[in-house]
A = this chain, B = another copy of it.
């Protein structure tokens, strides 16, 4: 059994909890929180909730910590702290800061004899892996990534910060015509606007100026101004009824050529259609947690990414069974 601890009990932490329950070789030992432990009730029977500052007391009871915090403010300090005492894994997704985060976690983990893995999930994570495999095979080619249709938590939050907005849900949608061009091997050059649209469902406060809210959304730099954005005002009841889920997904496509005269075209596509972004991400984290626990037992230490992990480490199956049934 791999004994797991979860740090942080939001949507992702709950997704990890469900994934641990669904893997018979994994056992959830404890959840660690910055909130008052008595205020947190976990779904799995018998699992204790502790204050995060006491985590070190449980270092001998846990094989790997799955850190379910935010990339903006939590993980940059939290993952190195945890890596000083535990094998651990996070889903750090601020692409530009990955090199710095990696270096910090690597230093701490190596010094402690622990194994860490950063940036697991689906993007970064499974999408990154598929970019790497496709680049290794079709080295003469072009990458495309499309996201959605799915809920962007960051964009939903940005809308909620606008004056007069009570609640909001933002869907990122791939432009199907662009996806089709890529799939057909047409190798298009696509602007930001040509790849994705943004679809918003907004609950406005009573008497709020909807025209002004819509204008503020559509003109918001970075988040919306580079996209064709549709804003729909709906009631809180409608939002709760029709937009409660956190679906997501997308496609990584690489097109490239082979042959002595680059005469043959190829298309590699990896795509995901997910009812629950946090539960799928949680399932990926649990598979990599298994790998990290195994690698630490083999004496491998320091920080890793999905690129460094041989696929066999991820699955609860013997090498013989893998070769007989999956190869």
A residues in contact (CB < 8 Å) with B: 15, 18-19, 21-23, 43, 95, 98-99, 102, 119, 124, 126, 128-133, 135-140, 183, 185, 258-260, 264-276, 279-280, 282-284, 287, 290, 305-312, 314-317, 319-320, 322-324, 326-327
What's the number of copies of this chain in the assembled complex? Answer: 2
Interface contact B284-A264, CB-CB below 8 Å: no
- In the complex, the answer to whether A266 meets B287 with C-beta atoms within 8 Å is no
| Residues of B close to A102: CB separation below 8 A | 323
Given A310-B308, A311-B133, A327-B95: A258 touches B276 (CB 8 Å cut-off) = yes
Given contact pairs A311-B133, A312-B307, A327-B128, A274 touches B266 in the complex (Cβ within 8 A) = yes
Task: Please tell me which one of the listed residues B265, B266, B272, B327 contacts residue A119 in the complex, with CB atoms under 8 A apart.
Answer: B327
**Once the chains bind, are A279 and B306 in contact (CB under 8 Å)?**
no
Cα distance A156–B127 when bound, in Å? Answer: 36
Most chain B CB neighbours (cut-off 10 Å) among A131, A284, A326: A326
Contact B264 A273 (CB under 8 A): no
Residue of B nearest to A124 (CB): B327
Chain B residues with CB under 8 Å of A129's CB are: 133, 311
20 contacts between A and B (CB under 8 A): A19-B258, A98-B323, A98-B324, A129-B311, A130-B270, A132-B326, A133-B314, A135-B315, A135-B326, A136-B287, A137-B283, A137-B284, A258-B280, A264-B274, A264-B276, A264-B280, A270-B270, A307-B310, A307-B311, A307-B326
